[in-house]
């Protein structure tokens, strides 16, 4: 009997052990599955977070890219100008392509104007020959045809007519694009940006006492150059008269010598100005003692039209009649160069000897011609 009880208890213990083992074996897969599920969820969340972060970075990159194209910069303009990219942009995108730049601003024009104008301020870090860097301010000017008048003049609505770049201080301007093929855009934009506007890159000379040269001015008359500045009273003049016709004097540099200077068997003999409201007085003189060949002439310029003088008198009754200005002009050049220089002094303030001394003091640099 005792043996039977021991046997039964041993059997029961064995069954309990087997049951526990079976129970544990059934719970383990479930526990393993739960662990896999937790790990999978955590990994999925991490992947989603990484993908979201990558997506946000891409979006940020695109936003930054958008910001870079929203504003037109000189760097962008230079890139566009390479390989006729600016002309291609005009052809493919038209006015809308440029208005995408947020710094393109409209300029109000007269109601009867056939074209409209947008401008954009640009900055270029100019480096001088001595290594000094300074910012130069430019204005991009985009002219387009008004929809109301374009077709009448053979153009399409909002067609871009021309694009120019102007250096603000000197107002020196380069043509970058022109729909009219008669006009040729500048080829070397980088060269235009690197222009040196100082006179001493070309020559040095003695200036009259008490006078200095102003900043470079393009298209003063038939040349670019620098006008004299000093403590003198400005001569009365009509509106629209060139400052070169009433200022104390100046130094000019032209690039069309073949149209103005005349040589005979290698000798510089004459200079001819074909301008309205201009008269040469007396004969041209060959001037000796200069570094290059030179001639001296005397000119008179109209300061008023007939109607302009009447208007001036109505505002200044009893004014002394001064209808013309008189200048000494010295032209200097070489037969084999299309570059020429002109020195001019107003006879109101200077004598013939003054302009001769100034011309004979000129020393040209290697870049002059």
Closest CA to 254 of 304, 279, 218: 218
| Residue 319 confidence (pLDDT) | 86
Tokens of 301: 């310029």
pLDDT, one tens digit for every residue, the chain (369 residues): 444 444 444 444 444 444 444 444 444 444 444 444 444 444 545 545 545 544 454 444 444 444 445 899 999 999 999 878 999 999 999 999 999 999 999 998 888 899 999 999 999 998 877 777 889 999 999 999 999 989 999 999 999 999 999 999 888 999 999 999 899 999 999 999 998 888 999 999 999 999 999 989 988 888 999 999 999 999 999 988 999 999 999 999 999 999 999 999 999 999 998 888 999 999 999 999 999 999 999 999 999 998 999 999 999 888 888 899 999 999 999 999 999 999 999 999 999 999 999 999 999 999 999
Place of tokens 């005397």: 298
CA separation for the pair 216, 225 (Å, rounded): 5
Kindly report the number of other CB atoms within 10 A of residue 362's CB atom.
Answer: 21
Tokens of 52: 């979201």
Q: Is the pTM here over 0.75, yes or no?
A: no
- 329 within 8 A of 366, measured Cβ to Cβ: no
| Residue 69 confidence (pLDDT) | 56
CA separation for the pair 247, 230 (Å, rounded): 10
SS3 83: helix
Tokens of 315: 């505002």
| Residue 97 confidence (pLDDT) | 95
Question: In angstroms, what CA-CA distances link 70 with 97, 136, 267?
Answer: 11, 22, 58
Closest CA to 119 of 163, 77, 56, 160: 163
Tokens of 211: 């006078």
Place of tokens 């040469």: 280
CA separation for the pair 348, 38 (Å, rounded): 99
Kindly report the number of other CB atoms within 10 A of residue 102's CB atom.
Answer: 12
Closest CA to 337 of 258, 273, 269, 222: 258
Domain parsing of the chain, residue ranges: 75-193, 199-364
| Residue 46 confidence (pLDDT) | 52
CA 342 to chain centre: 28
CA separation for the pair 138, 123 (Å, rounded): 6
Tokens of 238: 């009509």
SS3 344: strand
Name the percent of the chain in helix, strand, coil, to the closest 5. 35, 30, 35
CA separation for the pair 358, 208 (Å, rounded): 8
For domain 199-364, give the fold: Protein Transport Mog1p; Chain A (3.40.1000)
Place of tokens 């102007």: 166
């Amino acid at each position: 009997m005792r043996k039977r009880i021991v046997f039964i208890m041993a059997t029961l213990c064995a069954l309990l052990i087997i049951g526990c083992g079976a129970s544990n074996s059934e719970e383990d897969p479930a526990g393993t599955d739960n662990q896999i599920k937790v790990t999978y969820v955590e990994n999925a969340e991490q992947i989603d977070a990484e993908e979201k972060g990558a997506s946000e970075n891409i979006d940020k990159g695109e936003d930054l890219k958008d910001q870079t194209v929203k504003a037109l910069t000189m760097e962008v303009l230079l890139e566009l100008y390479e390989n006729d990219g600016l002309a291609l942009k005009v052809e493919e995108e038209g006015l809308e392509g440029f208005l995408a730049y947020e710094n393109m601003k409209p300029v109000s024009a007269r109601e009867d104007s056939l074209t409209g104008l947008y401008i954009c301020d640009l900055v270029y870090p100019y480096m001088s020959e001595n290594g000094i860097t300074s910012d130069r301010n430019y204005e991009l000017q985009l002219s387009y045809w008004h929809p109301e008048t374009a077709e009448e003049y053979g153009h399409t609505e909002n067609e871009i007519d021309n694009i120019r770049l102007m250096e603000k201080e000197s107002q020196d301007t380069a043509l970058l694009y022109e729909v009219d093929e008669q006009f040729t855009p500048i080829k070397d934009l980088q060269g235009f940006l690197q222009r040196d506007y100082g006179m001493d890159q070309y020559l040095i000379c003695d200036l009259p006492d008490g006078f200095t040269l102003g900043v470079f001015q393009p298209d003063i008359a038939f040349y670019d150059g620098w006008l004299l500045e000093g403590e003198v009273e400005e001569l009365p003049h009509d509106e629209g008269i060139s400052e070169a016709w009433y200022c104390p004097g100046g130094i000019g540099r032209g690039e069309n010598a073949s149209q103005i200077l005349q040589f005979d068997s290698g000798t510089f003999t004459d200079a001819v100005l074909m301008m309205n409201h201009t008269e040469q007085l007396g004969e041209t003189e060959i001037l000796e003692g200069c570094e290059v060949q030179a001639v001296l002439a005397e000119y008179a310029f109209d300061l008023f039209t007939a109607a302009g003088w009447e208007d001036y008198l109505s505002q200044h009754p009893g004014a002394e009649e001064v209808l013309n200005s008189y200048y000494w002009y010295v032209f200097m050049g070489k037969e084999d160069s299309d570059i020429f220089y002109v020195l001019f002094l107003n006879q109101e303030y200077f004598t013939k000897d003054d302009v001769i001394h100034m011309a004979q003091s000129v020393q040209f640099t290697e870049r002059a011609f």
